[in-house]
Structure 1
Amino acid sequence: MSRLDSNSPSFIDLNNGASKEDFNHDLRNNSPSFKVVDDERIHNLNGTIEIKSPKLKGFWHKVLVTLGLVLGIFIGAMSETSISTITEVIGSDFNTYGSITWIAGSYLLTTVAFTPLFGKLSDIFGRKPVELFGIALFAIGSLGCALANSLPLLIFFRAIAGIGGGGIISMSFIMVSDVIPLEDRSTYLSIISTTFAIAQIIGPIIGGALADASWRIVFYIKLPFCGILALLVIFVLDLPESEGDILTKIKRVDFLGSIFLILAIVSLILATSWGGKDYAWNSTPIIVLFVLMPIFLAAFIYIELKVSPEPVLPSKVFVRNVVLALTASFMAGAIELVAVFYIPVYYQFVHDATPSESGYRLIPFLAIISLCCMSSGHLIKIFNTIRGVMWVGGAISIVGVCLVAFMGQYSTLTEQIIFILINGTGLGLIYQLVIFTCTLSVPPEDVAIVSGLFTFSLNIGGVISLAIAGTVYNNVLTSQIADRLPNFNPKDLMDSHIARELSLENREILKTCYYFAFRYTYICIIPFAILLFISVLGLTKLEIPRKSNDQIDI
C-alpha cells in the first residue's frame, strides 16, 4: 500500500477540512487534481486517503487470475449464442415451434434486467459471495435446461440461467478493477473483450456440433466450467470483502428501487420484442407495456433520489463521460448483435450457405473485433490518447455499417469479407476503451456500479436493436414476397422446407426478397453507428498517469 505524498497537489487530508465529497468532486472534474497512481481502491486510514495496489504474484498466479476472469465471460457469452443453432432441434423434440424464440429470449431478458443490480450487490455483500451466487444460478439453470421435459420448463430454467449469466459477465468486468494493477488493466480488458468475441464465435459451432448427439449436452457441458470457475473465485482471486453482519447487509439493499428498475426494463424489452411480430404495434398489450415502462422508470428515479438511503444506481455516477460512454456501449451492442444474427441469415438465404458455413463466414467479423480490442490498449500508449482512438473507431463504424448495408446481392465473397472486416474494426477499437473510460471517470467506490452499467447498456442495446431489426426484416420480407411472388403465401415461403420445392427461377426471386430484407434491416442500424460516433466525440479530458508519471490524455 502506498501513501500519497502530502506535498503533492493530489494529496487530500480529511483531517484538514477536506471531505470525501471534495475528493469525489476533484475526481469527477474534467481536469481532476486527484490523479490515480497505482489503483483506485480507497481506504480512509488515519484521516488520509490511501491507495492499495493489487499485485500479481508470479507467472502461474497471473495465469490462474486471468483464467478466473475470462472463464466467466466465456460461459456467459457462449450461452447467448450456442442456442441459435439448436432451437429448431429442440422445437422438433418437443413437437412445438410457437415459443422456441423464447429459449433465447428468456435468457436475454433476465440477463439484461438483472445485470444493473450486481454491481451494487457486490459492494454490499462482497465480490466473492455475489460471484458465487451468479455461478450457482447459472449452474442450476443449465442443469434444469438439460433435464427439462417440456418447452415451458426449459424456458423457465433458461431465464434462471440468464440471471446468473448476466451476473457472471458483469462481475468479470468488475473484478478486473479489484485484482489487476491499473497499468495492466487495459490489457486485461482487451483479453476479456476478446474472450467474449471468441465465445460468441464458437457458441453456435459448439451448439450445432453437440446437437448431432443430443441438444441436452449443450447445457450439461457448462456444469464443469461452473465448478472450475467457482474454485478459482474461492481460492485464487483476491477480492475485497464487505463488513457487517448479514442482516445489516440485507437492510442496505434497495429492494423497492430494484423491483421498479426490473419492471421498467422488462416492460421495454417485451414491448419491443412482441411489437410487430406477436402483436401489432397499436395493439392493447404493446400500448399497455409502453405506458407502464415510463411509469415504472419514473417511480424508480423518484425512489433513487428521494427514498432509498443507498440507491442501487446513485445519481452521482452519471457524470458526462459515463453517460456518453454508456451511450456508446449501447450503440455498439446494438450494431454487433444485429450483425451476429443477420449476417449468417444473409449467407444462408441469399448465397445458399449451410448454417455451419454461415457461422464460419462470421468469424472474420468477430475475429477483427477481438484483434482490435487487443490492439486498442497498445494504440492508446502509442498515440497517448484514448479519445482519439475511439473517434477513429466511431468513424470507421459508420463506414463499415454503410458498406455492409449496401453490399450487393451478387457481391463477391472477398468484397463481403472486406466490408464485414471494416464494420468489426470500428467496434473493436471502441469496446474495451468504453469500460476503461467509465471506470476512470468515477470515484473508486462506484467502479462496480458503472462496470455493471456497461454490461447492461451493451446488452440492452443489442436486445432493442434486435427487436427493431426483426420487425423490419419480417415486414420487408413479407412485402417483397407479396410483390415478387404474388401467387405464394409469404408465410409458407418463410419455411425453408417449402422454399426448397420452388422452381429454380422462383428460388432466385426468393433470394432477392431475402436480400432486400437484409439490406433494409442493416440500413436501420446506420443511425446507431452515427449516434455511436457522436457519443465518443463528446467525451471530455481526464488525465490518468502511468507509473512512470507520464500521462494518458483521455
Structure 2
Amino acid sequence: MTQTGPTHRQILVVMSGLMLGMFLAALDQTIVGTAIRTIADDLHGLSMQAWATTAYLVTATVSTPLYGKLSDIYGRKPWFTTAISVFVVGSLACTLVDTMGQLAAARALQGLGAGGLMSLALTIIADMVPPRERPRYQGYFLAVFGTSSVLGPVIGGFFAGQESILGITGWRWVFLVNVPIGALALVVVAKVLNVPHTRRDHRIDYWGAAFLCLAVVPLLLVAEQGRAWGWASPVSVLCYVLGAVGLVGFLLVERRMGDEALIPLRLFRTSTFAMTIVVGVILGVGMFGGISMIPQYLQIVRGYSPTDAGLMMLPMMLGIMTASITSGRLTAKTGRYKVFPIIGTALVVVSLLLFHGVEVDTPIWLVLAYMGLFGLGLGNCMNTLTVSAQNAVPFGDMGVATASVTFFRQLGGTLGVAVFLSLLFSTVADNIARAFRAASADPGFQAALADPRCARTPRTPRSSRRWRPAGTGACWTTRRSC
C-alpha cells in the first residue's frame, strides 16, 4: 500500500465497524462462562453444560482458516458481513432455546460466525495500511479484546443474577445483547467498508476443511470431556485415533492442493511464519489458560462474586491496552517489532511463575499486580506476532496467513483451557473437602459454624454469598450480615 491509500480518518471510520464485529466474538468468549451454571440449572442440563462451550469452540476454530481462504478469493467485505450475520442469527437462536441440546446446536451456529470476526478484522486492516503502520491500528483491536475480558464476566454475572429483564429471563440477555451490537456493526460495515479486491479464480479446499474438522474436533472433545470420560477410556482413545487420521489426511490433501490449499504448506517453509505459528500456539495456551484460571481463583479461593471477579480483571485489561498500543506506535515510528514478542513472552512466563506461588492469603494487591504484568506480556505478543506473519507472506496470501495465526492461537488456547479446567475441577473438590476436615478441629471454626449470624439462608442470592475468614474462624457471609 502506498501513501495514496486511505487517510488516518478513513481508517478509523472503517475500524469502528471492524471493532464492533471483533467485540462480538471477544465478548462471547468470556460472557457465557459466568452464566453457564445458571443456564444449565434453568434448562435442567447440568451434565451437558460443557457441550455448549465445546460446540462453539469447535465451529469457531475450524471455520477460521476457511474464512481466510474464501476472503482471499471473493473479497473481505462479503465474508465479514456474512460472519456478523451468522453470529447474530446464532445469538438469537441461543436466546430462544428450551434445552441444553438446543443451546449446543445454537452455539455451534454462533461459532460459525465467530470464526471470521477476529481474523477478517485483522486482515482488512492489513489490506488498508502498510506493514509499518499495521501495529499502530491492530493495537486498538487488542484493546477491544482486553476490554471484553473484563466486561464479559461482569455482564454475564449481572444477567445471570436477574430473574428477568423486560419480561425475558435474565440469562437469555447474555446472547440477546449481541443482536443490537451485531445489527449496528452490519450497518457500519455495509456503509464504510470499501476495500478494493481483485477477483481470483481458485478452487475451494473442501476436502482440506473436512479433514481439518476430523483432526481438530475429536481432540477438542477429548480435551473438554477427558476428565469425565477418563483420559485412557475407549471413547478418548477413539478420539485420539480419529484426530491422528484427520491430521494425516489433512497434510496429504494440503500437499496435493498446493496453492489452492486451505492452509498452503509452502507458507511453513518461511521460518518467520513457522516460528510465529509455534509461538502463537504456546501463547494461546498460556493466554487463554491464564485468563480462564484467574477468575476461578478469585471466585473459588478468594470468594468473590462473578461480577467482582470481572471488575478485578481490570489491571490485566489495562496492561493489554497499554502494551499493545505502545508497541504499535513504537513499531510505526521505528519500523522494528521483533523485540516486542521477546519481551512479551518473557513477561508472560514470569507472571505465570509468580501466579504459581499465589496462595489463599496472598495480598490481593499483589495478585492484581501479577495480572497487570500478565496483561503487559500479552499486549506485547499478540499484535506483533500477527504483523510478523503478515509480513512473511505474499500479499495474495494475507487472508489465509492472518487466519492461520488466529486459528493456531485459538487452537492452543482451546486445548489449554480445556486441560487446565479439567485439572482444576478434578482436584478442587478433594482439596476443599481436605481443607474442611483439617479445619474442623479448630475451636474457632466450630464457634463460627455455631454462630446463627453465619448461617446460609435460602433467601441469600448465590451471587452475594462467599466464604471468607471472619475473626478467629470462618463463615458464610453475605453483603448484609456476618
The alpha carbon displacement at 1:509 in A equals 12
The alpha carbon displacement at 1:207 in A equals 2.2
Q: Which residue number in structure 2 is paired with residue 206 of structure 1?
A: 155
What RMSD in Å do the two structures reach over aligned CA positions? 2.8
The one of 176, 182, 190 aligned to 2:125 = 176
Q: Which residue number in structure 2 is paired with residue 87 of structure 1?
A: 36
| CA pair 307-208 structure 1, distance change in 2 beyond 3 A | same
8 A contact 1:329–1:454 mirrored in 2: yes
Q: Is it true that 1:289 corresponds to 2:239 in the alignment? A: yes
Q: Provide Cα deviations, 1:205-243, integer angstroms capped at 9, x if missing partner.
A: 222223423222222221222222223332211223353
- Could you tell me how far apart the structure 1 residues matched to 2:99 and 2:28 are? 20
Matched AA of 1:375 = T
8 A contact 1:87–1:100 mirrored in 2: yes
Q: Which residue number in structure 2 is paired with residue 389 of structure 1?
A: 340
- Could you tell me how far apart the structure 2 residues matched to 1:288 and 1:136 are? 35
Q: Provide Cα deviations, 1:396-454, integer angstroms capped at 9, x if missing partner.
A: 22211101111232111221111222222212111100001000011111111110011
Q: Which residue number in structure 1 is paired with residue 174 of structure 2?
A: 218
Unaligned runs of at least 5 residues, structure 2: 440-460, 477-482
The one of 260, 263, 283 aligned to 2:214 = 263
8 A contact 2:346–2:377 mirrored in 1: yes
* Matched positions, count: 445
Q: Provide Cα deviations, 1:188-221, integer angstroms capped at 9, x if missing partner.
A: 1101111111122212222222342322222222
After superposition, where does 1:26-37 map in structure 2 within 5 Å?
none
- Could you tell me how far apart the structure 2 residues matched to 1:116 and 1:363 are? 31
Q: Provide Cα deviations, 1:463-498, integer angstroms capped at 9, x if missing partner.
A: 11112212221233244346555699xxxxxxx98x
Relative to its length, the structure with more helix (as a share) is 2
- Could you tell me how far apart the structure 1 residues matched to 2:473 and 2:379 are? 37
8 A contact 2:132–2:332 mirrored in 1: no
After superposition, where does 1:488-507 map in structure 2 within 5 Å?
none
Matched AA of 1:460 = L
Detail structure 1 runs of 4+ shifted over 4 Å in the superposition.
381-384, 481-488, 499-510
- Could you tell me how far apart the structure 2 residues matched to 1:299 and 1:152 are? 30
More deviation in 384-393 or 317-326?
A: 384-393
Q: Which residue number in structure 1 is paired with residue 146 of structure 2?
A: 197
The alpha carbon displacement at 1:500 in A equals 7.6
Q: Is it true that 1:301 corresponds to 2:251 in the alignment? A: yes
| CA pair 458-208 structure 1, distance change in 2 beyond 3 A | same
Q: Which residue number in structure 2 is paired with residue 243 of structure 1?
A: 199
The one of 312, 317, 320 aligned to 1:369 = 320
The two structures have a TM-score, normalised by structure 2, of 0.85
Q: Which residue number in structure 2 is paired with residue 185 of structure 1?
A: 134
8 A contact 2:149–2:313 mirrored in 1: no
Unaligned runs of at least 5 residues, structure 1: 1-38, 40-51, 489-495, 511-554
- Could you tell me how far apart the structure 2 residues matched to 1:293 and 1:91 are? 29
Q: Which residue number in structure 1 is paired with residue 284 of structure 2?
A: 333
Q: Is it true that 1:311 corresponds to 2:261 in the alignment? A: yes
Q: Provide Cα deviations, 1:250-299, integer angstroms capped at 9, x if missing partner.
A: xx111111100111111211121111x22011100100111111111111
- Could you tell me how far apart the structure 1 residues matched to 2:192 and 2:290 are? 37
The two structures have a TM-score, normalised by structure 1, of 0.75
- Could you tell me how far apart the structure 2 residues matched to 1:450 and 1:221 are? 32
Q: Which residue number in structure 2 is paired with residue 416 of structure 1?
A: 367
More deviation in 198-207 or 210-219?
A: 210-219
- Could you tell me how far apart the structure 1 residues matched to 2:367 and 2:3 are? 46
| CA pair 110-179 structure 1, distance change in 2 beyond 3 A | same
More deviation in 161-170 or 124-133?
A: 124-133
- Could you tell me how far apart the structure 1 residues matched to 2:390 and 2:257 are? 27
| CA pair 414-257 structure 1, distance change in 2 beyond 3 A | same
- Could you tell me how far apart the structure 2 residues matched to 1:299 and 1:220 are? 39
Matched AA of 2:113 = G
- Could you tell me how far apart the structure 2 residues matched to 1:232 and 1:99 are? 37
Q: Is it true that 1:435 corresponds to 2:386 in the alignment? A: yes
The alpha carbon displacement at 1:382 in A equals 6.3
SS at match of 1:335: helix
- Could you tell me how far apart the structure 1 residues matched to 2:257 and 2:394 are? 23
After superposition, where does 1:341-360 map in structure 2 within 5 Å?
341-360=292-311
8 A contact 1:330–1:459 mirrored in 2: yes
SS at match of 1:411: coil
| CA pair 401-58 structure 1, distance change in 2 beyond 3 A | closer
- Could you tell me how far apart the structure 2 residues matched to 1:460 and 1:109 are? 9
Matched AA of 2:114 = G
Q: Which residue number in structure 1 is paired with residue 59 of structure 2?
A: 110
- Could you tell me how far apart the structure 1 residues matched to 2:68 and 2:132 are? 23
Q: Which residue number in structure 2 is paired with residue 162 of structure 1?
A: 111
The one of 399, 405, 410 aligned to 1:448 = 399
More deviation in 469-478 or 369-378?
A: 469-478
Q: Which residue number in structure 2 is paired with residue 26 of structure 1?
A: none
- Could you tell me how far apart the structure 1 residues matched to 2:105 and 2:4 are? 40
8 A contact 2:305–2:466 mirrored in 1: no
Matched AA of 1:367 = L
SS at match of 1:95: coil
Q: Provide Cα deviations, 1:5-58, integer angstroms capped at 9, x if missing partner.
A: xxxxxxxxxxxxxxxxxxxxxxxxxxxxxxxxxx2xxxxxxxxxxxx6672247
After superposition, where does 1:33-72 map in structure 2 within 5 Å?
39=1, 55-57=5-7, 59=9, 61-72=10-21
8 A contact 1:54–1:178 mirrored in 2: no
Q: Which residue number in structure 1 is paired with residue 76 of structure 2?
A: 127
After superposition, where does 1:496-535 map in structure 2 within 5 Å?
none
| CA pair 258-375 structure 1, distance change in 2 beyond 3 A | same
- Could you tell me how far apart the structure 1 residues matched to 2:91 and 2:217 are? 22
8 A contact 2:302–2:468 mirrored in 1: no
Q: Which residue number in structure 1 is paired with residue 413 of structure 2?
A: 462
Between the aligned residues of both structures, percent identity stands at: 26
Matched AA of 1:290 = Y
Q: Provide Cα deviations, 1:504-529, integer angstroms capped at 9, x if missing partner.
A: 8999699xxxxxxxxxxxxxxxxxxx
8 A contact 1:267–1:290 mirrored in 2: yes
- Could you tell me how far apart the structure 2 residues matched to 1:109 and 1:504 are? 44
